[in-house]
Structure formats: C-alpha cells, structure tokens
Amino acid sequence: MRRAIYFFSGVGLIGSTLLFAAILAGLVHTLGQTGPDILPAVFSLTWNPAQGAYGLLPMISSSIMVALLALVMALPTGFGLLWSIWVYDNRYSLFLRNLLRFMAGIPTVVYGLCGLFILVPFMRGLGAGNGFSLASVSLVLSVLILPPLVLTADSAVHNLMKRPETLTLNAGALGLGRDKAFLYIAVHACRRQIAAGLVLAFGRALGDTLIALMISGNAPVMPKGLFSSLRVLPAHINLLTAVEIDANIELTLFLSGFLLMTAAVGMSLLSRMAQK
C-alpha cells in the first residue's frame, strides 16, 4: 500500500512538473517573440486586441471574485449538510452522503446546462440583467463545490467521532448530545481538515471552465455588480484557442495558463499544510 502511494505520488509530481515546465517554456518563448514592452498592455484593464490592448486584469479579478462568492454561498449549505449528517446519524445521513458522492460524479457541463436553461431565465425574469452574470455563475459553482467541501470535512469528523478514545466520550459523560458534541468538539478538533476542504473547494471554483463559459456572458470587462457579465481566466483560454491568434494573444494564453497552474499548485500545498 505504501509503495502504491509513493508510486502514484511520484507520477503525479513528475506529470505536474512537466506540465508546469511546458507552460513556462511557452511563456518564455512567446515573451521572446513579443518583447517585454507588451507587459504593460497585458497587465491593464482593457482587452481589445484590435487596438493593441491585451489586459488580463479583468479576467484575473473576475476569477477570484467568482471563486470567493461561490465559496461564501456554499458555506451555509455545506455546514448545514455536515451538521445534519452527524446529528441525524441514520438512513437520512447515508442518503446525504450518497447524494454528495453522486453530485461529485456529475459532469460539469450538466451543471452548466441547468444554469443556462433554468437559472439564467429565472434571473432574467427577476429583472437581474440578462441573467448571464457574476451571481449566476457563483450560484451554480456553489452547488458544484459542495461535495469536496462537505465530504472532506465529513471524513475528518468521521475519524474523530468513531474513535473510542476521543473527547466525544467526555462530551457524553457531561451530558452533551450529538449536536453539541459536533459543534463544540468535532468542529474545533477538525478545523484543519475543514480548512483544507475550503481550500480545495476554492481551487475547484477557481479552475472551472464550462460553467463560467456557459453562463457568465464572457464579457472581458471588470464586473460592476452581482448582475454584471464577466469572463474568467479558464473560459478566456477556451475562447482564445477557438480563434486565430497572434504572438501577443499567444503570450496572454500562456500567461493565463501559468497563473492558473500556479494557483492550482498553491491551493494543493495550502490544503496539505492545513491538514498538518
């Protein structure tokens, strides 16, 4: 078992390193073609290649805002699900766990289709712009990240609550029920694992492509509110690769990939550090 863990960890490390090196090599190569003078145009607020404006800041800011808002939206529901699983430790809890596992296996495009044909018209009917907005994307992503958010914390709480030598025995001796034992003991004892789940959920929302591509509006501008259209980096990469690109646009493509890869590695490291 230990050998298998080392093997797959090594394969993952080698693959990630090679991918990161390939993106970095592409970035350096295209920067050599365009010259460093293009960088002020890249790190600006305007994306209009026809006028020599290649600003990525709107897409970078939109990606962070979408991920943060999705995480904030998912937190109350996620905590409520986790609380229900442990307070009502019965068939209802088993149903919730199986439902979350099923949700984790649903393709992202299905969430995007539901958002496109159900949520967007609903938001439009409420008078919230055209429905393609920051709020719509974040709401669908909040549903998408519920499984990693809840299941990571549930696994940690399970390991704590099912061991006879833990503080739960003391809680029972003091007359605390399952709800208070969960709130005052399990949540505090598993705070690192819960934090790791938050980091993983944030990274999942930050790197998603299809949902944002389908229901964000793909407007390369800074969002002015919850009901403004926007474009995130993963969707931006997808749109760039679908059209003819010059060296300057290719530079922004590799830079976007480099930023997302760096964010993914950073989220993974933070998640590992949070669990220690």
Domains in the chain, start-ordered, CATH in brackets? 2-275 (1.10.3720.10)
Q: Which residue has the tokens 């790190």?
A: 43
pLDDT of 162: 66
Distance of CA 103 to the CA centre of its chain: 15
pLDDT tens, residue order, the chain (276 aa):
667 767 777 777 787 788 878 888 888 888 888 777 788 888 888 888 888 888 899 999 999 999 999 999 999 999 889 888 887 767 888 888 899 999 988 999 999 999 999 999 998 888 778 889 999 999 999 999 999 889 888 887 777 666 655 566 666 677 777 777 777 777 777 788 888 888 888 988 998 888 999 999 888 888 888 899 999 999 988 888 767 677 788 888 888 888 888 888 887 777 777 666
Q: Please check whether residue 253 is in contact with residue 245, taking contact to mean a CB–CB distance below 8 angstroms.
A: yes
Query: Is 193:155 a contact under the CB 8 Å cutoff?
Result: yes
Q: Do residues 45 and 241 lie in contact, with contact meaning Cβ atoms separated by under 8 Å?
A: no
Three-class DSSP category at 64 = helix
Strand runs labelled E in 47-174: 47-48, 53-54
d(CA 166, CA 160): 7
Residue-wise pLDDT for 159-173, tens only, equals 766 665 556 666 667
| pLDDT value, residue 161 | 65
Q: How many CA atoms lie within 13 A of 273 on its CB side?
A: 7
Alpha-carbon 79 to chain mean position: 17
Q: Which long-range contacts (CB under 8 A, 24 or more apart) does 244-253 make?
A: 246/49, 247/30, 247/33, 247/34, 248/34, 248/38, 248/41, 248/49, 248/52, 248/54, 249/49, 249/54, 250/30, 251/27, 251/30, 251/31, 251/33, 251/34, 251/38, 251/42, 251/54, 252/42, 252/54, 252/56
According to the model, what pLDDT value does residue 25 have? 83
State the Cα angle at 155 between 149 and 79, rounded to 5°: 40
User: Nearest CA to 140 among 113, 168, 163, 121?
Assistant: 113
Please choose, from the candidates 214, 212, 215, 160, the residue with its C-alpha nearest in 3D space to the C-alpha of residue 184: 160
- pLDDT for residue 138: 94
